[in-house]
Structure 1
Amino acid sequence: MANQALIWIRLRWRLITLILIPLIFLPLPIIINLPQAKCGYIVIIITVYWIFEIIPLPVTSLLPLVFFPMAGVLKAETVAPLYFTDITALFFGSLAFAHAIESVNLHRRIALFVLSLVGTSTKWTMAGLMGVTAFLSMWISNTASVSIMLPVSLAIIGELQQQVTDLTDKNQVNQEATTAVDEVLELSEMGVSNGHTKTGVILNASELEEQKTEVSVEVKTRFRQSRQRHDQLTVDRLCLKRFDDLRKGFLLSIAYASTIGGLATLVGTGTNVFVKGYIDETYKGTAFRVNFLNFLLFGLPVGVIMLILCWLWLQILYNRIQFFKWRTDSKDRVSQGKLKAMLLKQYTDLGKPSWNEYCVGVVFIIMILLWVTRDFGETKGWSTIFLDEYMDDSTVAVFCGLLPLILPNSNPFQKNWKYESIVQWKVLVKSVSWDALFLLGAGLSIAAAFRTSKLSDSVAQVLKFLDGIPNAAIIILVIVISGLFTEVTSNISTASIFLPILDSVARSSFIHPGLLVLPCTLAVSLAFMLPIATPPNAIIFGSGGLRVIDMVKTGIVMNILGFLVVFLAATTWMPKIYGLDDRATEIFYSINITTSTTAGQ
C-alpha cells in the first residue's frame, strides 16, 4: 500500500507541488497585507517553479504578466512593455545574426581553419577546440556553439579511438597473455629435482649440470617473452584508459569553453544582457552604466584567464602523459599525421567560401566594430553623429541581425540570378530561443516589482547586520552563493532573483551596487558541476562517455577557479573600468540615489 502511494506521488509530484506551493505560502500576503508581502509571495512561487521546473520555464516566465497586476504590485501597462525593451531587442538581434552564421556554415569553416593551424597533438588540438568554442560563444548562444563544435570534437575522438582499436586488434593481447602464462607453467614442471628428470632417469653430475643450464636458459627466455606480452597487455590497457580520459576531456572542454566564452561579452549570454537592462532601469540617471565596450574590458580578461586555467586543469586530469611530454616519438607522429589529415579533409570538403559566407563575415566584422566604437565612456564614439542618447547597442544588434534577412544569398551579377535572402524569416522564427526572451522579461518584471513594492527596502533593513563587514568579504560571499545556486536553476532566473537582493545588500552596507551586481553577473554563469546546470552540460553529457561523478570531479575545481578569478577581477580592474571608487560611492548615495529611486518608481 505504501509503495503504491509513493508511486502515485512520484508520478504526480509536479502537479502536487504546483498546487501546494501557493497554498503553503498563502498566509504571507493574507496576514501581512502589504505590497512587499504580495511581491515576496509571487517571487517565491516563481522561484520554486523555476528551480524544480514544475511547468516549462517560458510558461513560468509569463506568470508575472498575470500575478503582479492581480496582486496590485504592478499595473499591466507597466509589466507588459518590460517583455520587449531595448534589452530584448539587443538579445533578439544577436540571436538573429547567430542564426545567419550557422545557416551559411561560417562557424564550421572558422573552427576547422583554426584547428588546422594550432597543431595536431592532443593538447594543442584541445586548446584550439576550446579557443574556437569560446570565441563562438562570445557572439552566439552557448548552446549553439556546443551544438556546432560537438560534431568536430566527436570526429577527433573517433580518429583517436580508431588508432587505439587498430593497436589492440594487432596485438590480440588477451589471447597472447593467456598463452604466455600457460608456457611459464609448463616450464615450471620441467625443472630437475634431486638429480631426476621428469621421466625418472638418474643423471650423473655433469649431465645434471648441463640439463639445469639448458632448462634455466629456456625458462628465462620464455619468461622474458611472457613478461613482454604481459607488458604489452598493460600498455594496451593503458591506451584504452587514456582514450577514455581523452574522450571525457574533449567533451568537457567544449562545454566549459562555451560557458567561459559566454561571460566575456555583453551578448555572449542572456544573463549579461539581462544585467545591462537591470542596471539601465534601476540606476537610471546615475553615472553607473554598462555598454558593450566596458563590459568587454571587464569580462574578456576573466574569460581568457579562465580558459587557460581550464585547459591546464583538463590536461592535468585527462591528458597528463602528453601534457608533460616534450618529445614526440614515431607513434605520436603517426597519430598526429592521421589527425591532421582528417581535419584537412573536413576543411577541404567545405570548398571555397561562398558569396553568403563573405556577406555574413563582413557584417560580423562591421557589427563588432560598431559595438566597440559606439561609446568609449567619457569620450563618445560614432553615436554622436545622431541625437544624444538615441542610439544604443540594441540598434547595432537589430541592424546587423536584419541584414542577412535582406542581403541576397548568391552573387546578383550571375546569369539567371533570382533574389533570395541569406536567411528566411520563416526559418529564423523557428530557430530563435523565445524561452530566453521571456526569461529576460520575467527578470526585468521581478526587478521592477522589488522596487515598486519597496521590498528592496525591507530586505535592506533585514540585512543591516552586514554593516561593518569588509567589502571583499561580501563580494566573495556573493560570488560563491550565486555560483552554487546557479547549478540548480537557470542563469537568468538566478540573476533576476539575486540582483534586487544584492541592491538591498549594497544599500544596507553603503557600498556601490556595482561592486556586487557585476561580480554576480559573471558568477551565475559559473555552472560547471552538474549536467542539469546548463544546456551545454546536458548536451555533452547526453553524447555518452561521461558520468555525473566525472562532471562533479572536474567541475568543482572549475567552480573554485572561477570564483577566484571573478573575485580577482572584482577587486582589481573592474572598479577602475566602471569608476567604482569611494568618491563614486559617495556621489551615488548623496546626489544620484534620489533621482534613481524616483526614476525607478
Structure 2
Amino acid sequence: MKFSSSLKFNAVSEWWEEYISYDNLKKYIYQLEKQQHGDRQYLDADLEANESSALIDAADRSNTDLVFVPLLNQELKKIILFYESQEKELLDEVADLEELVEKQEELGLAGGEHYLDDPMADEDDEDDDDSISRSPDATRTRRRKLSSQSRTRGALASSSTNVDEPAPRHRLSISSVDTLDDDDRPSRSPRATIKNLANKLRDSITLTIPDSIWHAKSDYATDVRLLFKRKITNLYISLSSLKSYVELNQSGFRKILKKYDKVTYSELKEKYLHKEVEKAYPFTQASKDRLNDGTFRLLELYSRCVTRGDVVLAKQQLKLHQRENIAWERDTVWRQMIAQERRGENEGEPTAIASLLKKPGPGLFFIPTPLGTIRVTKKMLYKITAGIIFVTLLNTSVVDGIEANRCFAILMFCTFLWATEAIPLFVTSMFVPLLLILLQVIRDDQGNRLNPKGATKWVFSIMFSPTIMLLIGGFTISSALSKTNIDRVLITKVLSLAGSKPSTVLLAFMGVSCFASMWISNVAAPTLCFTLIRPILRTLPPKSAFGPCLILAIALAANIGGQSSPISSPQNLIALQAMDPPLDWARWFAVALPVSGISILLIWLLLLASYRPARSPDGEGNIEIKQIRPTKERFTHKQWWVTIVCLITIGLWCVAHEIEDYVGDMGVIAIFPIVAFFSTGVLKKDDFEQFMWTIVFLAMGGIALGKGVMASGLLEVVDVILRDLVEGYTLYSVVLILSPVVLIISTFISHTIASVLLVPIAKEVGSNLPGNSQNLLIFITGLICSAGMGMPVSGFPNQTAATQEDELGELYLTNVDFLKNGVPASIIATLVIATVGFVLMRLIGL
C-alpha cells in the first residue's frame, strides 16, 4: 500500500488537517524536479498561490534544498503545536482521573445514599453502548461531561453523609433481588434447600459489611465501575491515537525525504531527520516516555477499578477496546469512502438479476417488463448469439460423426465467446470440460464413446498437465523476483547506463521491457516499466513526442518479449504442450532470442522515423532525458538466494531432455522454485493466492479443447480438408500462407486464445507435409501469436499502454498511434519470424 493511502487509512479522521501534508509535499517535489531540469516554463499552473509557490519561483535550480526545507519546517511546526496542546490536555485529564479515583475510594459506598434519586444516572446509562466507539475529540467532550457529573454525585453524597457515622447498610435493589431468584425457588431436594439458605445468609452478611467500591455488588458500585471504565478506556484510546499520530508523522517525514532525495538526487534525508525531526518535541524520547507513562498509569487505574488488580487482564481488555475503536474508525470513515469510490467507478455495470431489472446506465435499448425494465447491452446480445450458434450447430450435421459434430459446436461456441469476451475468458474455458463431458464427446483409442465417468477422468487428467505446472513455476519465479525487488534493481542498473540521449534511452527501455517480459511475464513487465518512466515523463516538455513514443515502445517490446522464453506467455506453453517431442529451452532460446533481438532493433528504427522523439516541441534543438539513477542498495541474502534458485531452475530447463530419465518432464523441475521459495519464507501464502489463476484456468481449458478435438474425431475430418489445401505446396510456402492468417487472428483476439485455436491446426497441417514438420509450424504459430500488436486490444501490454495518462489526465496514445506504428511493427516481427526464425528452426533440426 502506498504511504499516502496508508496515512489516510490509519489517521484519526478529526485530526486529518494536522497530519503531514504528504501529497502536497510530493507535488512540490515534482515541481522542483522540473525546475531542476531547466523546464521552469513548463511548471504546472495549478500550484496554490502561497508562500510555497513563491519560494519555487525564486529558487536556484541548482539547490532545491533551499526551497524544500522551509516547506518541511512549516509542516513540522504545525505538528509540534498540535501535539503539545493534545499532550497537555490528555495528561492533565489522566491526573484529574487519578484524583477522582482517590476521592471515590475515600467516599466508598457512601455515595450510594442518594443514588436512586440522582437524575444523572439514567442519562449515563443511555450512552453506555456507544462510549467506546467515539472519536478522540468526541470522547473528550463526553469525558468532561462525565467528570462533571461524577463530581456532582460526590458532592451530593458528601453533603448528605456524616463522616463520623458508620457507612449505612446497603439496601437490596430490584436487580439484586433478581440475582437471587434462582436460589429462592423451592427445591425438591433437602440438600438444595440447605444450600439456598446458606447462600441467602452469605449474601446478607456481605451486604451488611462495608466493602470497597471496586468490589461491591450493589447497583451503585457497578455503575461507578462502569463510569470509570468508560473514562479510563476513552482516555487510553486517545493517548494511543496520539502515539499513532507521532509514529505516522515520523514515517511521513522519512518517506517524503526519501522520495525527495530519489527525485532530485539530493542527500537531505539523513541530515534533516537527525537535526530537525528527531529533535522536535513530539519525536523525542522524553515525549514518548511521557505518553508511555500516561498509558501505564491508566493501565494501573483500570486494573484497580475494573479487573480487581489483575494487570494482565486489564491490558488485554484495554487493547481489545483499542482495536475495536480502530476498526470503528476505519469502517465508518475511510472504508465507506473507498466503497463509494468503487461504486462510482462501477456505476452503470451492476451484475446478475439486478442489472436486468433496473435501468442504472446506458444500453443499446430497453425492454419494459412487469418486473422492471431490462437493459439490453452489447455483451448480452453476444451471449444470446453464442447460445443460438451452439444450439443450431448441435442440431445441424456440419461434419460427419456425432461426437465430431458436437465437438465442432463446442469449438464454435467457445471461439465466439472468447473473441467477443462476452464473459470472462477463463469462464469460457471452464465451459470446455463441462460440455465435453455432458455431451459425451470423448472417444477411446478404439473409437468407442466414453461414458461421463470415464470422460471425467480423462478430461481432468489432461487439464492438469506438466505444462500447467510449468506455468505455475513461472509465476513463482516472477513473484519472487518482484517481491525481493531484484527486477527493479537489475533494470535500474541497466537503464542508468543509457545516458540522456533520447534514441539511446528509447532502445534501452525496449531492451529492458523485452528482457523483463521473459522472466516476469509480459503482463507484469510493462507495468513495472511504466512505473520507472514516470520521472522521465514528468520532466518532459508538454506535447513532447518522446512520451507517447516511449510508452508505445515499451508495449511493443513487451509483446516481443512474450515470445522470447517458454514461460513468458501462455501461448508459448500451449505450443510446447502440442509439440512431440517437446522442445527444450536451449533450442527455444537458439531461435527466439535472435528473432526477438532483430525485431526490437527494426521496431526501434520504425519508431525513431515515425515520432522523431529527440526533437523538442517547438522544433528548436533536441530534448535531454533525465538519467535513471541506479539503486545503491546491496544485494541481501534473500536476493542472492532467489537469484541462485532462478538460475539453477533455468539451467535445468535448458537441459531438460538430457536429464529426463531423472526428472521426467520440465513440469517436475518447476516444482523446485515453488518448494525453495515457499519453504524458506521468501514467498507467503498470500503470494500464492495472488498468482494469475485466471490464466492458469484459461490454459487448462485450451489444452482440454485441443485434446477434445483430437479425441472426438473432429481433427480427422479437418485433416482431410487441410490435406487437400496444402497438397502440392512446399513447407516454406505453407509458412508464408499460415503466417498472415495467424497474425490477423492474434491481432483481434487474445494471444492465448489465438494459440488455443491455431496451434492444433498448425500441428495437423504439419503432419500432412513431408518430413514431419509439425513442431516447426507449431513453433512459428506460437511466436507469431505474440507478434499480433496492431490494435489497443492486442494483448495486455497494448491495453496497459493505451490507459497511460499525463498529469492533465490526457491519454498519451490514440488509436492512430497503434494503427500507424503497431500494425507495421506486427508485420515486421512476423516477417522476421517467417524468415530468420524459419532458417534457425531448420538449423536446430525442426
Q: How does the TM-score come out when normalised to structure 1?
A: 0.71
Q: 1:268 aligns with which of 561, 568, 573?
A: 568
Give the AA of the match of 2:686. Answer: K
Secondary structure at 1:362 match in 2: helix
Is the contact between residue 432 and residue 701 of structure 2 (CA under 8 Å) also seen in structure 1? yes
Which sections of structure 1, spanning at least 5 residues, go unmatched? 165-239, 324-328, 408-420, 581-601
Is the contact between residue 17 and residue 54 of structure 1 (CA under 8 Å) also seen in structure 2? no
Which structure carries more helix by proportion? 1
Displacement of 1:315 in angstroms is 1.4
Is the contact between residue 69 and residue 76 of structure 1 (CA under 8 Å) also seen in structure 2? yes
Matched residue count: 454
Pairs within 5 Å for 1:234-249? 240-241=542-543, 243=544, 245-249=545-549
Secondary structure at 1:531 match in 2: coil
Is the contact between residue 29 and residue 38 of structure 1 (CA under 8 Å) also seen in structure 2? no
Displacement of 1:434 in angstroms is 0.9
Displacement of 1:63 in angstroms is 1.1
* C-alpha distance 58-9 of structure 1, shift in aligned 2 (>3 A): closer
Give the AA of the match of 2:553. Answer: S
Does residue 145 in structure 1 map to residue 438 in structure 2? no
Q: 2:395 aligns with which of 4, 8, 27?
A: 27
Partner Cα separation in structure 2 for residue 11 and residue 499 of structure 1: 28
Pairs within 5 Å for 1:45-444? 45-74=413-442, 75-160=455-540, 164=541, 240-241=542-543, 243=544, 245-279=545-579, 283=580, 288-319=581-612, 335-336=624-625, 339-340=626-627, 343-344=628-629, 347-348=630-631, 351-375=633-657, 380=658, 383=659, 388=661, 390-407=663-680, 421-430=681-690, 432-444=691-703
Pairs within 5 Å for 1:473-492? 473-492=733-752
Q: 2:381 aligns with which of 13, 38, 54?
A: 13
* C-alpha distance 3-100 of structure 1, shift in aligned 2 (>3 A): closer
Is the contact between residue 578 and residue 778 of structure 2 (CA under 8 Å) also seen in structure 1? no
Partner Cα separation in structure 2 for residue 62 and residue 156 of structure 1: 43
Partner Cα separation in structure 2 for residue 453 and residue 253 of structure 1: 44
Is the contact between residue 461 and residue 508 of structure 1 (CA under 8 Å) also seen in structure 2? no
Does residue 513 in structure 1 map to residue 774 in structure 2? yes
Partner Cα separation in structure 1 for residue 401 and residue 781 of structure 2: 32
Q: How does the TM-score come out when normalised to structure 2?
A: 0.51
Cα shift readout 1:523-565 (whole Å, capped 9, x = no counterpart)? 1111211111111111110112110111111011111101110
* C-alpha distance 483-30 of structure 1, shift in aligned 2 (>3 A): closer
Give the AA of the match of 1:55. Answer: I
Partner Cα separation in structure 2 for residue 258 and residue 465 of structure 1: 35
Equivalence for 1:170:
none
Cα shift readout 1:130-155 (whole Å, capped 9, x = no counterpart)? 11111111112101001111111222
Is the contact between residue 28 and residue 41 of structure 1 (CA under 8 Å) also seen in structure 2? no
Partner Cα separation in structure 2 for residue 492 and residue 269 of structure 1: 8
Secondary structure at 1:120 match in 2: coil
Equivalence for 2:727:
467
Q: 1:497 aligns with which of 745, 753, 757?
A: 757
Secondary structure at 2:663 match in 1: coil
- State which structure, 1 or 2, has the greater radius of gyration over its C-alpha atoms: 2
Equivalence for 2:212:
none
Equivalence for 2:799:
538
Give the AA of the match of 2:574. Answer: F
Secondary structure at 1:266 match in 2: coil
Does residue 526 in structure 1 map to residue 799 in structure 2? no
Q: Which runs of 4+ in 1 moved over 4 A?
A: 2-7, 29-33, 320-323
Partner Cα separation in structure 2 for residue 11 and residue 275 of structure 1: 30
* C-alpha distance 91-3 of structure 1, shift in aligned 2 (>3 A): closer
Equivalence for 1:226:
none
Aligned residues with identical type, % of pairs: 22
Partner Cα separation in structure 2 for residue 128 and residue 110 of structure 1: 13
Equivalence for 1:575:
842
Partner Cα separation in structure 1 for residue 768 and residue 652 of structure 2: 39
Secondary structure at 2:683 match in 1: coil
Q: Whose RCO is larger (CA < 8 A, sep 6+)? A: 1
**How large is the RMSD of aligned CA atoms in angstroms?**
2.4
Give the AA of the match of 2:570. Answer: G
* C-alpha distance 447-156 of structure 1, shift in aligned 2 (>3 A): same
